[in-house]
Amino acid sequence: MELLKDKKPISHYFIVTGLILLFSTLSFGVIGALQYVYAGLFRENFSFEKIRPLHVSSAVFWILITACGAVIFYLGKVKDGIWSSKLAKWQWILFTISVVAILISYIMGIFGGREYWEFHPIFALPIVIAWILFLINVLKTVKVFRKQPVYVWMWLTGTIFFLFTYAESYLWLIPYFRSNIVHDMTIQWKSYGSMVGCWNMLIYGSSIYLMDKIAGSEKYSYSSIAFALYFLGLFNLMFNWGHHIYTLPAPKYIQYISYGVSMTELLLLGRIIYFWKSSVDTAKRHYHILSYRFLLAADLWIFLTLILAIAMSIPAINIYTHGTHITVAHTMGATIGINTFLLLSLVCNIFNVHQPKTEKNITLGLNISLIALPIFWISLIIAGVLKSDWQMHHFNDIPFSAMMQSLHPYFVVFLIAGILLTIGFFIIVGSLLAVFFKKQINA
């Protein structure tokens, strides 16, 4: 608690915790990739069923905790301070204790066993309490709901809906919901699908605030187009989750609703293409160079990931991509290319990074990751295409192990690109942590 006695805002502690979790995400990611290439590595004590949740939960907590930190920081700027720093401090403490306990529980072999964000249900309790504290803080800080910019709407809806979807993801504890595997998986993917939309609301809201700040105008945040796109995003958050479960023998209307709703994302794609040039020109004029570079990188990955997401949302295409590494490529593209780049742009802005040496190091890290990420992504897509061919045509005549052996060269490329990506992000994380611990922040 000594650390909390200095004068840095509480939001910075969320961010530092998030950065440490990004470090942990990457480390466990590399070990997991090594296990794909060297079959049986650490089989006895540190096998893949431990590594995967260590990697996934670190990644989810990196996103969630940093997004909360960014919302607390920016909301404080918008509203002349957060309602209660004490409440935020307790939220941070609860989060930190829960994360440490969850990561230790995996090492001890205690799991929740759900796909994909899983831990023993007991740990859900402190996280819910922490989130309620966050919700109280956000609601009390916003106070008046009239004439708010779009990012405040996004923070509010993201915070409220997260609580609902998170609670929904634990309905399986009730016998009625767990007794039929198809129904259970339907509700599970409904909750997880929407949950991703919730943290995206927090991140995208903060990014819009930052873009306004870089552009030096709040015009966009109050515009009708901003609100139309926000409602479109919310509509997708609520109804497009069904594309995860097209192959489940669930009722057909889930397929139709999700397919129809997902196609509205084409409007988002159209907008990105249309506004691509103008957004670059506006941002270029300003000096938030690091945040700008990360935003630009995220812009490109939003474009690539959205194309893949829309294609995968068409049921007839989804049957070829489902259960293959194309789905992994989509997830990695979204979590690294979009969420991580956006969050890092927010962190650079919040930490007010302007020291030339730090700027140089972070730019180097970003450039390395920008080279590695497409290789990483394409290797997964090729592995996915080959697995898809096996699933559709050779399922009965070629054993699973032989198919996996044929993917080995692509897993090697995936591993090398993953290590390169990790080096790039380590440089960025290391530089940002140094800024925090050397007290170079001018908040």
Binding letters toward another protein, positions 190-209, x by CB under 8 A: x-------------------
Given 5, 7, 143, 147, the residue binding another protein (CB under 8 A): 147
122 binds another protein (CB under 8 A): no
**Footprint of another protein on 270-299 (CB under 8 A):** none
Q: Is 180 or 217 the residue whose CB approaches another protein more closely?
A: 180
- Is residue 317 near another protein by the rule CB under 8 A? yes
User: Using an 8 Å Cβ cutoff, are 141 and 82 in contact?
Assistant: yes
Of 435, 438, 439, the closest CA to residue 353 belongs to 435
Residue numbers 217-256 binding another protein by CB under 8 A: 224, 227-228, 231, 234-235, 238-239, 244-249, 251, 254-256
Task: Evaluate whether 303 touches 269 at the Cβ level (below 8 Å).
Answer: yes
Which residue in the set 243, 293, 322, 330 belongs to the binding site for another protein (CB under 8 A)? 322
Quick one: which of 150, 156, 157, 210 has its CA closest to 344? 210
Contacts of 90 (CB under 8 A, 6+ apart): 130, 133
Residue 76, C-beta contacts closer than 8 angstroms, at least 6 positions apart: 9, 11, 82, 141
Q: Which residue number, 180 or 352, has a Cβ lying nearer to another protein?
A: 180
Instruction: Choose among 226, 251, 161, 143: nearest CA to 197.
Output: 161
The full DSSP string for 265-320 is HHHHHHHHHHHHHHHHHHHHTSS-HHHHHHHHHHHHHHHHHHHHHHHHTSHHHHHH
Rounded least distance, CB 431 to another protein, Å: 33
Residue type, 128: V
| Beta carbon nearer to another protein, 69 or 197 | 197
Which one of the spans 278-286, 309-317, 343-351, 366-374 is the region binding another protein (CB under 8 A)? 309-317
The residue from 325, 329, 382, 422 that contacts another protein (CB under 8 A) is 325
Sites for another protein among residues 17-36 (CB under 8 A)? 35-36
Under rule CB under 8 A, how many of the chain's residues touch another protein?
75
Residue 104 in contact with another protein, rule: CB under 8 A: no
Residues 256-275 that bind another protein (CB under 8 A): 256-257, 259
Site for another protein in 330-389 (CB under 8 A): none
Q: How far is the CB of 19 from another protein (least distance, A)?
A: 26
| Residue 173 engages another protein in binding (rule: CB under 8 A) | no
DSSP notation for 109-140:
T-----SSS---GGGHHHHHHHHHHHHHHHHH
User: How many Cβ atoms from other residues are within 10 Å of residue 145's Cβ?
Assistant: 10
How far out from the chain centre does Cα 281 lie?
A: 27
> Closest CB to another protein among 93 and 404?
404
